[in-house]
Amino acid sequence: MTKKSISLDVDPSIMEKNMRIIKDNPVEEEFNKLLASVDPVPSKLVKPKPGFCVKSFTKTDNKKVFVNICVTDAIPCPRDITNEELMQILSSEDPSSYRVPMSIGEGRTEPDNSGAPVTVYDVAVNPEFFKKIEKDDLFQVFFLTVVFEGLQDKYQLPEIDMHKYTILKNRKSIGTLQSHRIQIRDIKTCEDKINKQPLIEELEDKSAGNKVNEPVSKKKELQYRLRREPPTGEIEYLLAEFKIPPNIELKDLHLEVGEDRLVLDSKGVFELVDFFLPCSVDQDIIDAQLNRNDDMLFVKMPAIH
């Protein structure tokens, strides 16, 4: 299941607190002590196809929630198991041993049949697994339970009523399906375990739809690097440093840090910096500092173990 991911929105009202202008450069000294770098995790943009739409309600205020279950080959199929194996796994001490790769997109507002605004989420899975949940009631209930819990966990939603959900008969989706940015990386922990089968996970890029129609001419890219501390062994924290030209002011920077993703926007002056992190970080204690002596932005991100 996708873990909780909270964006740290650094807008002008928060900038002064989270991105301090400093005269000295203690963080840069920390960078210079590091011997190894950590490469950002690659990703790709995909447009899923519609599967079916689920309608349910929140338990506390009985508000409608729609979930578009959609499909894309960019997401791998989970291990194929029988109904008996699924029941055994669910009743075991470690039900999380069976994982279903999926992409949970951000909520958006769409009109329902009556024209009233409702919240809609897109959740993408592998087409072969979709066929299974479409035909098998046990896997369908299991999957939707995982989806609802994932939405609640990721976006702090009120509890969704599993007993009130229905699958729409005449509509495969509500609104236009959004593009998803899919992360491509090996299964790894902060210790960078190797020799694992590849797993694709994703956090949706809010600007994904715009990227599809970008002009051919490319904007300049900000120079940056990502490092780990200590250089070997268990990661204590990640350090990202960005070269910020003098013409970009503090108020022009917009920083988002998710559990395993970093996005830095400069209001369109430079290409959006968007990459996945090699381990989960604690978004609540991110430390970002802009040093105008060297025109460097430093972002320190403690690792979660």
High-pLDDT (> 90) share of the chain, %: 27
242 vs 22, more confident: 242
The reported pLDDT for the residue numbered 168 is 93
The reported pLDDT for the residue numbered 294 is 85
Answering whether pTM is above 0.75, one says: no
High-pLDDT (> 70) share of the chain, %: 73
103-154 tens-digit pLDDT: 888 899 998 888 889 999 999 999 999 999 999 999 999 999 999 988 888 8
| For residues 48-61, average pLDDT | 94
Beta strands in 126-220 (DSSP E): 166-167, 180-186, 198-202
The reported pLDDT for the residue numbered 11 is 33
The reported pLDDT for the residue numbered 42 is 63
| For residues 280-290, average pLDDT | 88
Q: Which residues of 235-246 are buried (b: 16+ CB within 10 A; e: fewer)?
A: bebbbbbbebee
Distance CA 239, CA 53 (A): 41
* Cis-peptide, bond into residue 302, ω within 30° of zero: no
Picking from 170, 227, 138, the residue whose alpha carbon sits closest to that of residue 55 is 170
The reported pLDDT for the residue numbered 198 is 30
User: Which DSSP symbol is given to 155?
Assistant: H
| For residues 59-77, average pLDDT | 92
Q: Residue 228 pairs with which residues in a beta bridge? A: 238
Domain residue ranges of the chain, discontinuous segments joined by +:
12-41+214-302, 48-178
Distance CA 102, CA 71 (A): 9
The CATH number fitting domain 12-41+214-302, selected from 3.60.150.10, 2.60.40.790, 3.30.70.1430, 2.160.10.10 = 2.60.40.790
The reported pLDDT for the residue numbered 48 is 93
